[in-house]
Amino acid sequence: MRKPTRRLTAVAAASSLATLAITGSVVAVTGIGAPRPQEVRFNIAAPTQAPDPFIANGVAVGNQVPLYFSSGIGPGALNPAAPAGTPERYIDPAQFPGGVLPAGVTVTEAQGMNAMARIRENLESQGLSLSNVISMRIYLEAPPGTERADYNGWNRAYRKWMANVNRVTGEVIPAYTPVEFANDTRPSRTNLEVDTLPVAGWLVEIEVVAAYTKR
């Protein structure tokens, strides 16, 4: 297991009250205490109280829920116009034509978009989707010449794939359009900044836990 060597930063969930609800691909319920054997319960305030939470405070999983644990997945080296081993090599031209980033889009954001597409492919290979994700861990490396990982850039990428649907209206939240995957799931999540990632040029690596639940 990788040991962060510079700083370890846990991203805290937005505060919420004691109401618990299922979101995403499972039927909404509320409750406190141990989950039922086939229950997946997200610790998020009720939709009327929190129509757009960022992440869940936690997730309770019953002992009969089958889970899938991905390995750490980073962005694909899809930009041959950039030198090997550079962050720009991991910009996906399918997402950013020519590997050129629009104004305001950072390389960490672009790598986050690329890595999330790879996570989606990984899940789909097992009959799952991003709506089945219940927990995420993200490793970030600071871009060259900077002192700190680009959390804001990563979070912008995250909203293109996760937590971008209003839980009351069921509509994609205008601030996040256009999205790559309309998804009301808010998983539990932790971000860690590390000195280095295993592939030269990576700034983002993601691992997820997904639950096989009834749609």
Give the tokens for residue 143.
């871009």
pLDDT < 70 positions in the chain: 1-31, 214-215
Task: Give me the pLDDT at residue 213, please.
Answer: 82
Domain 65-211 belongs in CATH node 3.30.1330.40: yes
Confidence at residue 10, expressed as pLDDT on a 0 to 100 scale: 35
Residue 6, pLDDT score? 41
Per DSSP, the three-state class of 109 is: helix
The pLDDT score that the predictor gives to residue 93 is 98
Beta carbons within 8 Å of 87's beta carbon, 6+ residues apart: 107, 108, 111, 143, 144, 201, 202, 203
Instruction: Give the model's pLDDT for residue 113.
Output: 98
Which of 178, 180, 96, 120 lies closest to 87 in space, CA to CA? Answer: 96
pLDDT of residue 28: 37
Question: Domain ranges in the chain?
Answer: 65-211
Residue 31: predicted pLDDT: 66
pLDDT at position 32 is 81
- Single out the residue of 112, 201, 91 nearest to residue 158, CA to CA: 112
